[in-house]
Amino acid sequence: MTRYRVAIHIEPRRGILDPQGKAVAGALHSLGFGDVVDVRVGRYLVLDTDAPDADTARATAARMCEQLLANPVTEDFHIATVEPA
């Protein structure tokens, strides 16, 4: 078993309203960042996990997203990187 560090992006599905993103965009406009046209706020998870190889670590992380980490109705997830920790 090797320890891997898996980085995961979870973001609101395109087309689904993201009120937190709208609020952040409004706050950025108020601060003078008027060129911002859209903001979407998701989660960034970094997992340290033991696995026999990187492919297994990636597949296990995807199952974690399906079962717990991401909301399958409103969110998309993406395993960004899998690297030895």
**Binding residues vs a copy of itself (CB under 8 A):** 1, 3, 9-11, 21, 24, 27-28, 31, 33, 35-51, 60, 63-64, 67-69
Residue of 66, 60, 29, 38 lying closest to 47 (CA atoms)? 60
The least distance separating a copy of itself from the CB of residue 73, rounded to whole angstroms, comes to 19
The phi and psi torsions of 82 (rounded to 5 degrees) equal -135, 115
Among residues 10 and 73, whose Cβ is nearest to a copy of itself?
10
Handedness of CA 5, 45, 9, 13 (dihedral sign): positive
CB of 4 to a copy of itself, least distance (A): 10
